[in-house]
Amino acid sequence: MFLNLKHNKFQFFILLASSLYGLCYVIYEFVIKRYTPWDQLFIRKIINFSQWILEESGYRTFASREVNDIQVMGIDGSNGVWIGGPCNGITLMFLFAIFVIAYPGNFKNKLWYVPLGILIVHGINILRIIALALIANSYPEYLHFNHTYTFTFIAYSAVFGLWMLWVNKFSNTIKSAK
């Protein structure tokens, strides 16, 4: 048989993670985004928190309401940054949670590590939005590059780092293999 899942833990992990990600993707794209206001409410919460941090740091900010599933937030005097579904970090949170859930390990550890990791990914995304707003204000010519490359690299590296921390420190698979 092509997939012998009983003996090949890597194949099982890939199959389980892919299946879970596919399920989450379908639910998010075709149910949550289409039939509920949750996606836009989540983006609004990210904007509110980002604005609060910027305003506490002495900046005057602005925000627009939803137009075609995109909201804009920025520092007064700039064009701001557009925040839509791909920018809200939900897919990264799914990715992180699925990697931890699909990887073997102690269920009790997963119960605290997944929510903590999701909060960390969410915090990184908020810091990303703030940094992009600062770049849009001071160096708008660098906005596209930083959005496309710098912060994508940082966000995915953080997810990978959190997963590697799980694999090496909290999953207990290395200890049980010895």
Digit-coded pLDDT (tens) for 106-142: 899 999 999 999 999 999 999 999 999 999 999 999 9
pTM: 0.87
The token pair that represents 82 in the structure block: 């557009």
Ramachandran angles phi, psi of 124, nearest 5°: -65, -40
Banded model confidence at residue 176, pLDDT cuts 50, 70, 90: very low
How far apart, in whole angstroms, are the C-alpha atoms of residue 178 and residue 9? Answer: 16
pLDDT of the residue at 85: 83
In tens, the pLDDT along 140-157 reads 999 999 999 999 999 999
At residue 58, what are phi and psi to the nearest 5 degrees? 100, 5
Beta-sheet pairing, 61-63 with 81-83: unpaired
Please name the residue that has the structure tokens 């990914």: 121
